[in-house]
Every structure is written in C-alpha cells, then in structure tokens.
C-alpha cells in the first residue's frame, strides 16, 4: 500500500485541487487480467468543482504516461509545477468547474501517490520487481472502484489523451452504461507495432543501467536514473515532430559549445534536460510497468476483436488527433471513427508539436472539448 500522509476519502465540500487518497480492495482483492490478485490499493486523486445533488455532473480526466493527478492548479507540495492541463480545467474553462465536478486520479501502477512498484507491500518492503503485470483494463477497474466509493454511478464525460485516451476508450467499452460522453485524443484501438517497438527500446535502456538491480534498487545507493533519462529522451523524440525540432533547434550549438570539439548540439541538451528532469520525479519501475500496460492495449482482446468491442460504446463520442503526430497518427483515430457507431468523425488539432500537441495546443484542444461537452 502506498503511504498516504493525508489519507482520507473524498467528502462533498472538500477544498479544490488538493490531493486526496482512497483505499480500495481492502476486503475484496482485485483479480488482475494477466493473473494474480492485488488488495489494499491506494489511489491518489484531485478534484475541482462541486458535485451536484444527483451526482450527474462528474467528469473523469485521465492523464498520460508520466502525468499525475495534478491536472490543474498552481505548483504545490508534492507537485513542483502547475497542472499538466492548466487552462483546460477551471472556472469558465473548457471543462468548466462552475458546471462540472472534475476528478483526476493518478493511475494504478504509477508513482505519484497511487499504488505502484515503489509502494510498500504487506511484507514491509517495496514491491519492486514483485509488482504484478497490469493492463489498461486493470487500471480502469481501479478507477471504477474509486468512482463507486465516491458515489458516482455515471460520468457526464470521460476525457483522456495518449495513455489517458486508452483508459477512456476502455471505460466506454468495459462500462458503457457509466459513460455519457467520451472524449478520446491521440490514440487508437490497439497499440501498434511501432509503439511497442519504441516502448521496448526505452525499457531496455532502463534495464541496461548498471543500477537497475533487477528492479530492486530502492535500498541501493542509486537507482537507474541514467537509463530512465535515456528512455525519456527516446520518448521525447517521438512525442514531438521533426518540424518542431528543426524550427526550434536546427543545427544550433548549445551555448558556446563546439560539437566538433566534443560539445553538444542544442537538441542534445534539450533531450538531456528532459531526461534528467523526469529521473528526478518519476520511478523507473513505474515507467516500465506503465509502458508495458500501454503495449498490451487492445480493446478487442477477448471480445472478438476491435470491431465487436467498439460496438459496445453507447456514449456520445468525440475523437481527436494531432496533425503532426507520427506516434499515434490520425489514421488511428480515423479507424476508431469507422468502428464506433456513435462517432461522427475526427477533430484535427493543428499543431507542429507532434503527439504532445494535445498537451500544448490548448486553444484548439479547448475548443474541441467545449463543443463535445455542449
């Protein structure tokens, strides 16, 4: 169970945007899709807005791979930066907290307050290499248990991009009666071969670090921070676009450094910066566990394929993708539009920022969400 210094279930009237903790599966362990069971799961989450009397105005916002529950708000204890979707959630924002009660949980398997590999197991030691294999479906079962505890039977909307989009899609397929509106951004029905390949290289980079220790590095003097930094650099190249890299960096040198004399190009410094930044706030084991869960993403697994699975979706559906996204290209969202009966088409986010466009192109993303919630 993850230590929760401010633990306590949510109550109506709780302050906005402050991290809370829910304890789940204490009496009934969760049976995992890949086998095994897990109990005493802690979920960290944040809320904004006020839940109405019939609990019909709740919106579930789901974060991407290295995100967390802090989707909106200023930097605060436990969160060094403002919310990752600041400007999308708030009073008079696209997800208007004057109207909606917004919930953002940290994902199961993560490292920002929710039970994951760094959490303390029942034997008093960190799970480490013993943390079980989990899937996107396991993650949304945990989120459904959180909704049950909060007394939310139906979400007015479920919204997510990238890994959050995988979870949003699984919500609508696994619990169609609980999702009124669905907003899925920058993802497909299954993980593609290229996505799996890129994730596998990142995982190998972490495991090649001499401080990996088989995943049991929590009591060691150092963890696999170098491997995680390289993994993040690999990811960063694929989260952005060639167009953006060329316009931002070109062949510029980093400061006064001379590459022919052993110095760095500016783009190399950029990748090192983001890799080191992540290694200071994210657990390498969680990066692997969540990356593998994304690799296993397949809404049609055990359901007769994607076509059969997606006919279960009964929500009002909005699909969106980024024009320059080569990691989750628009063809994947177009495939979803063809397979989901209630989907009208694909909204295109015009941005040069590649896959990360759904996080940085806030104006077009906000307009899409505003239309979807109307």
199/232 same-domain check = yes
The first and second tokens of residue 104, run together, are 């953002």
User: pLDDT band for position 344 (50/70/90)?
Assistant: confident
Give the phi and the psi of residue 84 in degrees, each rounded to 5: -70, -15
Element (H, E) at 23: strand 20-24
Among the options 162, 291, 306, 324, which is catalytic? Answer: 162
153/218 same-domain check = no
35/157 same-domain check = yes
> Does the annotation mark 355 as catalytic?
yes
316/241 same-domain check = no
**What dihedral angle (degrees, nearest 10) is formed by the CA atoms of 15, 20, 25, 30?**
110
Longest CA–CA span in the chain (Å) reads: 67
> Does the annotation mark 162 as catalytic?
yes
208/243 same-domain check = yes
Output the pLDDT for position 78.
63
Q: Which of 366, 328, 362, 306 is nearest to 172 (CA)?
A: 306
206/352 same-domain check = no
Output the pLDDT for position 10.
42
- Are 115 and 105 in contact by the 8 Å Cβ rule? The answer is no
Three state DSSP letters for 299-337? CCCCCCCHHHHHCCCCCEEEEEEECCCCCCCHHHHHHHH
> Does the annotation mark 326 as catalytic?
no
CATH number of the domain where residue 109 is located: 3.40.50.1820
Residue 249 lies in a domain: yes
Residue 2 lies in a domain: no
Residue 366 lies in a domain: yes
55/129 same-domain check = yes
- Residue whose token pair is 């062949």: 251
Boundary of a domain, candidates 259, 293, 327: 293
CATH number of the domain where residue 205 is located: 1.10.1740.110
Among the options 138, 325, 351, 356, which is catalytic? Answer: 325
The first and second tokens of residue 96, run together, are 């208007």
User: pLDDT band for position 35 (50/70/90)?
Assistant: very high
228/241 same-domain check = yes
Domain that holds residue 114: 20-191+298-373
142/58 same-domain check = yes
Candidate from 10-14, 124-128, 266-270, 330-334 with smallest mean pLDDT: 10-14
CA 366 to chain centre: 18
pLDDT digits (tens, 9 = 90+) for 58-109: 999 999 999 999 999 876 666 667 899 999 999 999 999 999 999 999 999 9
Output the pLDDT for position 16.
52
- Are 106 and 69 in contact by the 8 Å Cβ rule? The answer is yes
Residue 6 lies in a domain: no
pTM confidence score: 0.94
284/166 same-domain check = no
| Domains in the chain, number | 2
Write out the DSSP string of 71-84.
-SS--BTTBSSS-T
Boundary of a domain, candidates 293, 327, 356: 293
Summarize the confidence of residues 193-217 as an average pLDDT: 98
Q: Under 8 Å CB-to-CB from 205, ≥6 apart: which residues? A: 227, 228, 230, 231, 234
pLDDT digits (tens, 9 = 90+) for 214-240: 999 999 999 999 999 999 999 999 999
Residue 325 lies in a domain: yes
186/226 same-domain check = no
Where does the chain have alpha helices with state H? 136-150, 163-174, 193-207, 225-239, 242-248, 266-279, 284-295, 306-310, 330-339, 357-360, 362-373
Among the options 30, 63, 70, 355, which is catalytic? Answer: 355
Residue 1 lies in a domain: no
- Residue whose token pair is 């941005």: 351
Q: Give the chain's mean pLDDT.
A: 93
Output the pLDDT for position 74.
74
CA 152 to chain centre: 21
> In terms of C-beta density within 10 A (0-12 exposed, 13-18 middle, 19 or more buried), how is residue 170 classed?
buried
User: pLDDT band for position 23 (50/70/90)?
Assistant: very high
pLDDT digits (tens, 9 = 90+) for 146-197: 999 999 999 999 999 999 999 999 999 999 999 999 999 999 999 999 999 9
Residue 12 lies in a domain: no
Boundary of a domain, candidates 293, 319, 347: 293
129/164 same-domain check = yes
pLDDT digits (tens, 9 = 90+) for 239-275: 999 999 999 999 999 999 999 999 999 999 999 999 9
Residue 129 lies in a domain: yes
Summarize the confidence of residues 18-43 as an average pLDDT: 92
User: pLDDT band for position 27 (50/70/90)?
Assistant: confident
């Amino acid at each position: 169970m993850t230590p929760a210094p401010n633990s306590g279930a949510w109550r109506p009237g709780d302050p906005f945007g402050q991290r809370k903790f829910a304890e789940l599966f204490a009496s009934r362990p969760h049976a995992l899709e890949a086998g095994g069971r897990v109990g005493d799961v802690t979920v960290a989450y944040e809320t904004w807005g006020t839940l109405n009397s019939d609990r019909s105005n709740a919106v579930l916002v789901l974060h991407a791979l290295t995100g967390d529950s802090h989707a909106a708000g200023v930097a605060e204890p436990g969160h060094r930066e403002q919310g990752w979707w600041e400007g999308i959630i708030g009073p008079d924002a696209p997800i208007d907290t004057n109207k909606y009660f917004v919930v953002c949980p940290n994902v199961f398997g993560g490292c920002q307050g929710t039970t994951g590999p760094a959490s303390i197991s029942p034997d008093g030691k960190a799970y480490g290499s013993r943390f079980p294999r989990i899937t996107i479906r396991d993650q949304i079962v945990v989120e459904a248990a959180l909704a049950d505890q909060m007394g939310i039977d139906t979400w007015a909307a479920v919204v997510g991009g990238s890994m959050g989009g995988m979870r949003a899609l699984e919500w609508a397929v696994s619990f169609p009666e609980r999702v009124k509106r669905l907003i899925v951004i920058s993802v497909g029905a299954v993980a593609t071969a290229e996505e799996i390949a890129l994730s596998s290289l990142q995982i190998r980079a972490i495991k090649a670090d001499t401080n990996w220790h088989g995943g049991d590095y929590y009591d060691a003097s150092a963890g696999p921070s170098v491997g995680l930094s390289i993994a993040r650099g690999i990811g960063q190249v694929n989260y952005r676009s060639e167009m953006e890299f060329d316009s931002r960096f070109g062949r510029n040198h980093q400061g006064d450094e001379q590459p022919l004399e052993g110095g760095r190009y500016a783009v190399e410094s950029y990748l090192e910066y983001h890799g080191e930044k992540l290694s200071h706030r994210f657990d390498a084991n969680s990066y692997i566990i969540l990356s593998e869960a994304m690799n296993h993403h397949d809404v049609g697994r055990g359901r007769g394929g994607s076509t059969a699975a997606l006919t279960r979706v009964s929500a009002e559906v909005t699909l969106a993708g980024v024009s320059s996204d080569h990691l989750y290209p628009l063809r994947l969202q177009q495939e979803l539009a063809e397979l989901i009966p209630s989907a009208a088409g694909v909204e295109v986010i015009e941005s040069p920022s590649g896959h990360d466009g759904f996080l940085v192109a806030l104006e077009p993303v906000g307009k899409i969400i505003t239309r979807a919630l109307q």
